[in-house]
């Protein structure tokens, strides 16, 4: 679990502050004009089933490596100034924060594109798994696009 | 030795987090799935039939990848992170 | 200047807390799964000119009305759960927050679309004007798409 | 009375925030731009030539809009909000 300020991507059990993450990324440049943020939160319903709790697990080292790669590639490919990603693991209640992606660009267009690409890429490449507790018991969730 | 890690559903199926196998200096993924299948036939089959992704040293590999002694292999069910 | 909890759109001089705005919108439904946020901040450079300060003014009542209309239309047209918008006026330093749009949906796709549409619509329809102070003096900024 | 509000560059050009005009029960935008032009010829011209947007009671109107007594009209330079 890496929490140094140098690392742009983190996996952690505890909640995060969106404001703190924005202020941290603002420090990387005075030329940031548009910041686009994706925040994924725990929904109460999935395919009609009532969810009481979510639980995430990850493959240590590989998950952090993939998130770091997403940040690096987003900055290169979309010409944004900076990106940071946090994904929580462990038990998560309904309404709580799960994942945060912050894309900071000079202008908004590239920040929107980079942020939307990053969350799709995270779902595709990052070894993190979700277990939902519903009235029917615990189920491992199949990937959703 | 090759370390094989099981995650999520596969960890539950295996009943443990990892196994170790001695397959010499090099081995194919088919040889590894055979070795896994001796104790965990269903998981061995999933790997052989390419039903799940396999990573070696933290990168996903294709079916023709050659595993080396000391590698860390992981069997990865479909990901479901990202909310 | 409206700051009641009922109003989804606000114009205000003081800074805002992104975290507080997210928590406020989360209260509208337990079925929010994807929140997309646009945060516009003051850049140091514009077309090669060094900016020392920004100053925004608005047409009271009409600006609030247009922001409210954007929230209502975003919810209807993009099938999102909720949207809130805050735009600051008065003097704003480099790096400070200017505008915040929070789009909350069941899933991320509609939240991205609604958020990107809303900031473009804000620029197109909302009577707010920016004055930049550069080394050459004060200039009213022409609209940028 | 019709209230006309000036914003941003136009407020600076006008040297004031608003004017009031008595144009009877109804007036066209051309009649209003003529009235504005008596004291502020450059702004009158901008309105007449459709170089700036005009709102009536907080909505942008087209050139053929009829203004009524008591309306609030605003002359709107190109917007530049949104960062």
Domains of chain B in start order, with CATH, are 2-76 (3.10.20.30)
The pLDDT, as a whole number, for residue A119 is 98
Residue A110 has pLDDT above 80, yes or no: yes
- Cβ of residue D18 closer than 8 Å to a chain C Cβ: no
Of A42, A61, A99, the CB nearest to B82: A99
The pLDDT, as a whole number, for residue A4 is 40
> Within a domain: residue A1?
no
β-pairing, C34-41 with C45-46? unpaired
Tell me which residue range forms the domain holding A64: 9-141
Of A61, A65, A141, the CB nearest to B80: A141
Residue C22 has pLDDT above 90, yes or no: yes
If you average pLDDT over residues D63-74, what whole number do you get?
A: 97
d(CA C141, CA D52) in angstroms, rounded, equals: 15
d(CA D54, CA B79) in angstroms, rounded, equals: 54
Nearest CA in chain B to A63: B58
A122, two tokens: 């995270």
> Within a domain: residue C116?
yes
Phi and psi at residue A46, to the nearest 5°:
-140, 115
Is D touching C (3+ C-beta pairs, cut-off 8 A)? Answer: yes
Nearest CA in chain B to C32: B83
The alpha carbons of chain D give a radius of gyration, in whole angstroms, of 12
d(CA B17, CA B11) in angstroms, rounded, equals: 6
The pLDDT, as a whole number, for residue A1 is 39
If you average pLDDT over residues D2-20, what whole number do you get?
A: 97
Res. A144 pLDDT band, cuts 50 70 90: low
Question: Percentage of chain C with pLDDT > 90?
Answer: 78
Q: Are B45 and A82 in contact (CB under 8 A)?
A: no
Say which CATH number the domain at A27 has: 3.90.1170.40
Neighbours of C12 (CB within 10 A): 14
Q: Are C127 and D72 in contact (CB under 8 A)?
A: no
Write out pLDDT tens, residues C124-143.
Answer: 999 999 999 888 888 888 76
- In angstroms, what separates the C-alpha of B34 from chain A's closest C-alpha? 24
The pLDDT, as a whole number, for residue C145 is 52
Inter-chain touch B81–A119, beta carbons under 8 Å = no
> Within a domain: residue A2?
no
Write out pLDDT tens, residues C75-125.
Answer: 999 999 999 999 999 999 999 999 999 999 999 999 999 999 999 999 999
Q: What rounded mean pLDDT belongs to chain D?
A: 96
Write out pLDDT tens, residues B72-81.
Answer: 999 999 999 9
Domain count along chain A = 1
Separation in Å, CA A47 to CA B4, B74, C17, C145 = 34, 30, 33, 39
Helices and strands in chain A: count of H runs, count of E runs: 3, 9
Check if the interface score ipTM surpasses 0.85. Answer: yes
Residue A46 has pLDDT above 90, yes or no: no
The pLDDT, as a whole number, for residue A2 is 38
Res. C1 pLDDT band, cuts 50 70 90: very low
Is D touching B (3+ C-beta pairs, cut-off 8 A)? Answer: no
Closest CA to D53 of D44, D63, D41: D63
């Amino acid at each position: 679990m890496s929490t140094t300020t140098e690392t742009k991507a983190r996996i952690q059990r505890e909640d995060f502050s969106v404001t703190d993450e924005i202020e941290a990324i603002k420090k990387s440049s005075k030329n940031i004009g548009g910041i686009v943020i994706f925040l994924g939160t725990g929904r109460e319903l999935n395919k009609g089933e009532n969810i009481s709790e979510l639980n995430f697990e990850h493959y240590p080292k590989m998950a952090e490596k993939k998130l770091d790669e997403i940040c690096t590639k987003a900055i290169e490919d979309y010409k944004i100034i900076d990106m940071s990603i946090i994904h929580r693991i462990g038990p998560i209640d309904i309404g709580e924060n799960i994942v945060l992606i912050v894309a900071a660009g000079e202008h908004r267009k590239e920040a929107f594109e980079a942020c939307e690409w990053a969350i799709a890429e995270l779902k595709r490449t990052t070894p993190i798994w979700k277990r939902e507790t519903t009235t029917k018991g615990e189920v491992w969730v199949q990937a959703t696009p | 030795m090759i370390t094989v890690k099981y995650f999520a559903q596969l960890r539950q199926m295996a009943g443990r987090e990892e196994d170790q196998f001695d397959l010499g200096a090099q081995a194919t993924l088919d040889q590894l799935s055979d070795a896994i299948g001796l104790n965990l036939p269903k998981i061995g089959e999933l790997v052989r039939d390419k039903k799940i992704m396999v990573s070696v040293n933290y990168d996903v590999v294709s079916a023709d990848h050659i595993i080396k002694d000391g590698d860390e292999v992981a069997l990865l069910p479909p990901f479901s992170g990202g909310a």
